[in-house]
């Protein structure tokens, strides 16, 4: 079967059939769980696809009629650019490639634990990556010329999310993401993101292991350990956008919605969530859209938990935060208190978090500007 003919995919989680996803041909999609998954599995999207024997239909035009949990798996601008270029080179008209067909193109390192069959991308090889400056040179060439000149870059990066160039990187059965500057970024972007991750860690936030990789042509490349891939085993992940079938680039949810979601799914993570909200404002991380917050399914305890914190960067060039606090673009301590109180935290707790985080951020800015 050709890619272009596919209008149905089987959805798997670690070799177990989860269900079937159909392209209805009218910009809507339908999904149903398999009987076996209904008996032994879990809801892959607890608000939109509860574990029930029925045919769900998604007609929300904002995410192209695709369920958020599957839309999450489809790469953003970076991965899609690589895929489009790869397909165009084979003479395929990319305007005709549907979202469902894009799920068939994902490789085994795609985000989260879901996979889709038929698959057109099983023979992926990322074992040969060793020189990151070389990879960055290929990326620059690709960004300038818009065509994939060799298959390496496509293999390394086509299933990664986000807009900044990035690749998957495997060491001893552990998977990492390495991020590179986009054509708009300063060459210090990797170092900046690394420092922000160190600061978040210093503030006691849950941050994946990370490193700054040496480079002769930039200030270094940011490497982060994949939290959805533990010793070769994949985990199911769904973003805040995915949970509610939201378009990740629109401000359709704010911090209160995020906190209420955390309270519903994993109240034990509420304090961490409140701290991330305050931290993002203190460090000026305005790229706080709902794909930059995720939840992981914990199979042992059979529940969702807040994922580690990721994509932590200061974004002075962006005007306003994607998510407001208490309806404000420039919230003060009292606004953090108002939203956090609505989910059960006390004024005293929030004030304490705010003061501690503020003093750490201040100390840190002194160190890095020295």
| Residue of 227, 293, 309, 336 that binds ligand ADP (CB under 6 A) | 227
CA separation for the pair 10, 23 (Å, rounded): 12
Q: What is the 3-state secondary structure (H, E, C) of 335-352?
A: HHHHHHHHCCCCHHHHHH
291 near ligand ADP, judged by CB under 6 A = yes
Q: Cβ 45 to ligand ADP, closest distance in Å? A: 15
Dist. CA 358–CA 333, nearest whole Å: 11
Q: Closest residue to ligand ADP, Cβ-based? A: 162
d(CA 267, CA 109): 30
Among 162, 242, 248, 331, indicate the residue that binds Mg ion (CB under 5 A).
Answer: 162
Q: Would you count residue 308 as binding Mg ion (CB under 5 A)?
A: no
Stretch that binds ligand ADP, among 25-33, 125-133, 220-228, 296-304 (CB under 6 A): 220-228
Residue 19 near Mg ion by CB under 5 A: no
| Nearest one of 287, 274, 285, 289 to 326, comparing CA atoms | 274
Nearer to Mg ion, 277 or 337 (CB): 277
Q: 226 is in the binding site of which of ligand ADP, Mg ion, none (Cβ under 5 to 8 A by kind)?
A: ligand ADP
What is the nearest approach in angstroms of ligand ADP to the Cβ of residue 359?
A: 27
65 binds Mg ion (CB under 5 A): no
Measured from the Cβ of residue 205, the count of other Cβ atoms closer than 10 Å reads 17
Q: Which of 311, 321, 324, 336 is close enough to bind Mg ion by CB under 5 A? A: 311
Is position 236 an interface residue for ligand ADP (rule: CB under 6 A)? no
Region near ligand ADP per CB under 6 A, out of 8-16, 158-166, 327-335, 351-359: 158-166
Instruction: Work out the angle at residue 359's Cα, subtended by the Cα atoms of residues 358 and 362, and round it to the nearest 5 degrees.
Output: 85
**According to the binding rule CB under 6 A, does residue 292 interact with ligand ADP?**
yes
Selected binder of ligand ADP within 98, 115, 224, 280 (CB under 6 A): 224
Q: Which residues contact 74 (CB under 8 A, 6 or more apart)?
A: 66, 80, 99, 102, 103, 106
Phi, psi of 176 (to 5 degrees): -130, 165
Q: Determine contact, residues 8/23, Cβ cutoff 8 Å.
A: yes
Closest to ligand ADP by CB, 195 or 226? 226
Beta-bridge partner residues of 239:
294
- Rounded Cα distance between 106 and 109, Å, is 8
Binding-site ranges for ligand ADP (CB under 6 A): 111, 161-164, 177, 208, 224-228, 291-292, 310-311
Binding-site ranges for Mg ion (CB under 5 A): 162, 292, 311
């Amino acid at each position: 079967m050709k890619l272009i003919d596919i209008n149905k995919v089987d959805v798997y989680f670690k070799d177990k059939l989860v269900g079937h996803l159909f392209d209805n041909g009218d910009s809507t999609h339908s999904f149903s769980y398999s009987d076996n998954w209904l008996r032994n599995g879990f809801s892959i999207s607890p608000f939109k696809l509860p574990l029930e024997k029925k045919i769900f239909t998604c007609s929300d035009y904002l995410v192209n009629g695709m369920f958020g949990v599957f839309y999450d798996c489809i790469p953003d601008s970076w991965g899609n650019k690589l895929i489009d270029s790869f397909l165009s080179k084979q003479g395929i008209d990319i305007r005709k490639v549907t979202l469902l067909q894009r799920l068939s193109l994902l490789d085994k390192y795609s985000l989260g634990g879901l996979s889709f069959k038929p698959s057109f991308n099983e023979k992926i090889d990322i074992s040969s990556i060793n020189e990151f400056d070389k990879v960055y040179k290929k990326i620059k060439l690709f960004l300038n010329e818009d065509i994939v000149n060799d298959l390496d870059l496509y293999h390394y990066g086509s299933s990664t999310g986000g807009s900044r160039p990035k690749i998957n990187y495997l060491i001893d059965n552990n998977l990492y993401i390495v991020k590179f500057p986009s054509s708009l970024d300063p060459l210090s972007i990797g170092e900046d993101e690394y420092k922000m991750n160190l600061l978040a860690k210093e503030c006691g936030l849950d941050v994946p292991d990370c490193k700054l990789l040496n480079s002769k042509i930039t200030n270094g490349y940011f490497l982060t350990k994949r939290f959805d891939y533990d010793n070769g085993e994949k985990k199911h992940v769904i973003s805040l956008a995915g949970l509610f079938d939201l378009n990740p680039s629109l401000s359709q949810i704010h911090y209160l919605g995020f906190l209420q979601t955390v309270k519903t799914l994993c109240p034990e993570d509420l304090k961490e969530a409140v701290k991330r909200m305050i931290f993002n404002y203190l460090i000026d991380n305005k790229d706080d859209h709902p794909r930059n917050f995720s939840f992981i399914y914990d199979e042992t305890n059979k529940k969702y938990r807040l994922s580690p914190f990721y994509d932590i960067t200061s974004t002075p060039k962006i005007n306003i935060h994607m998510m407001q606090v208490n309806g404000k673009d420039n919230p003060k301590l009292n606004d953090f208190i108002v939203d956090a109180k609505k989910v059960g935290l006390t004024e005293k707790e929030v004030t304490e978090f705010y003061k501690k985080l503020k003093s750490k951020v201040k100390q840190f800015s002194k160190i890095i500007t020295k």
